[in-house]
Amino acid sequence: MNLRLCAVVGTVFVLLSGSNFLSAQDRPSIEIWPTGLPAGSVILPPAKVKALKAKEKVHPRGHVLYCDTPTLTVYPADPKIATGCGVVICPGGAYQVLAWQHEGVQLAEWFNSIGVTAFILKYRVPRRIPDKIHWEPMQDVQRAIRVVRRDADKFKIANDRIGVLGFSAGGHLTVMAGVQYDTPCYEQVDEADSLSARPDFICPIYAAYLGDGYSDAKPELGSLVKVTAQTPPAFMAVTWDDKFRGAQSALLFAKLKEHGVPAEFHGYSKGGHGYGIQESELPVSKWHHQLASWLKVSGFLDPETIALK
């Protein structure tokens, strides 16, 4: 294992017992590409990078505006309530930015509250390839799943209970993780890449871009959404008043049923887009409680299925 990765992973476990007291800035992170980005990765012009970094420093909501070093920020569950389940979180942001706080940190902390170890994926933004905006982020999420699976024992999670949850563009990336996991998109880096990139469950929340050409304007699924009997079980939450995203998720739900893949779909009338787990009077603000119930009844929160060390 890369020496820098060893040091970071070691730090994670030294800090396990006190993880709930760490600030978001102090959380340990793991670079998922220890030897550099995959061959063919697009490099942005230095002037654009400088401008994006300057804007990021003063962004009022703490969004990530530029990433060329993808990482996993680790939120270990408290050992007293740990379930052995792990989730890679993909914040949204149109594949242009990452809504790091309300679609990353807040979800990671909530997952910790139900005994789930969370890993926030900082994937590459902004868009590099105009006609394949998901491609480089898909490299990142496939690699992230494999890294977490390789180190599952160290993170005290089960290697067959590793899911992906994402919002908006991150929801699209979550769907891609579930339906394109067997699409080779980078050359092997190390032993982690001999492992499966298939998540054990997926949770696309107000997923965007599921239509052809990444369109949200029609009730259709695009050619990238290839559901099979091996597609992971899914939990979805979305609203009617969110363009045609609710209809597209409903079509995905129907496809999963057609192929015998267990799934749960929550379609709410109001809520729009980008709400995360923000409290409100709208029923959609409770979607994550339904997710907790689904994870439990699906067996993903059963600590008896892993010998936690």
Whether the per-residue pLDDT at 306 is higher than 80: the answer is no
71-75: strand order across its sheet = 29-31, 71-75, 116-122, 85-90, 162-167, 201-205, 234-239, 263-268
pLDDT of 23 reads 58
**Residue 230 CB coordination number (10 Å):** 12
C-alpha angle 281-286-287 in degrees, rounded to nearest 5: 135
How high is the pLDDT of residue 155? 96
Give, in order, the Cα–Cα distances in Å from 281 to each of 27, 107, 168, 239, 285. Answer: 32, 19, 22, 15, 7
User: 144 to each of 52, 110, 122, 126, how far by Cα in Å?
Assistant: 24, 21, 10, 19
What pLDDT, on a 0 to 100 scale, did the predictor assign at position 28? 85
Query: 14-26: per-residue pLDDT in tens?
Result: 444 444 556 556 7
Percent residues over pLDDT 90 in the chain: 87
Cβ partners under 8 Å of residue 18, min gap 6: none
Q: What is the structure's pLDDT at 24? A: 57
Backbone angles phi and psi of 302, in degrees to 5: -95, 100
Q: Give the residue from 79, 116, 173 showing the smallest Cα distance to 292.
A: 116
Q: What token pair was written down for 27?
A: 């959380």
Give the chain's domain count: 1
Split at pLDDT 50, 70, 90, the class of 302 is confident
Q: By three-state DSSP, how is residue 48 classified?
A: helix
Tell me how far CA of residue 216 lies from CA of 137, 221, 253, in angstroms: 19, 9, 16
Tell me the sheet residues that pair with 164: 88, 202
Report which of 247, 237, 236, 242 is spatially closest to residue 272, judged by C-alpha positions: 242
The 3-state DSSP class for residue 306 equals coil
Give the containing element (helix H, strand E) for 167. Answer: strand 162-167
> What pLDDT is attached to residue 1?
44
Share of the chain above pLDDT 70, in %: 90
Mean pLDDT score of the chain: 92
- Other CB atoms within 10 A of residue 39 CB: 7
Where residue 130 sits, what CATH number does that domain have? Answer: 3.40.50.1820
Give the domain range for residue 185: 3-305
Task: Convert the pLDDT of each residue in 177-214 to its tens digit.
Answer: 999 999 999 999 999 999 999 999 999 999 999 999 99
Give the model confidence (pLDDT) of 214-229 as tens digits. 999 999 999 999 999 9
| Confidence at 7, pLDDT banded by 50, 70, 90 | very low
| CB 239, CB 221: distance < 8 Å | no
Q: Mean pLDDT over residues 23-31, rounded? A: 78
Q: Considering only CA atoms, which of 135, 139, 275, 294 is closest in space to residue 201?
A: 294
Summarize pLDDT for 78-111 with one digit per residue, the tens: 999 999 999 999 999 999 999 999 999 999 999 9
Q: What is the pLDDT of residue 20?
A: 52
In angstroms, the CA 309 to CA 307 distance is: 6
pLDDT in tens, 34-72: 999 999 999 999 999 999 999 999 898 999 999 999 999
For range 219-247, the mean pLDDT: 98
Q: What pTM was estimated for this model as a whole? A: 0.91
Closest CA to 199 of 234, 228, 229, 155: 234
**pLDDT of res. 304:** 65
The residues facing 267 across adjacent strands are 238
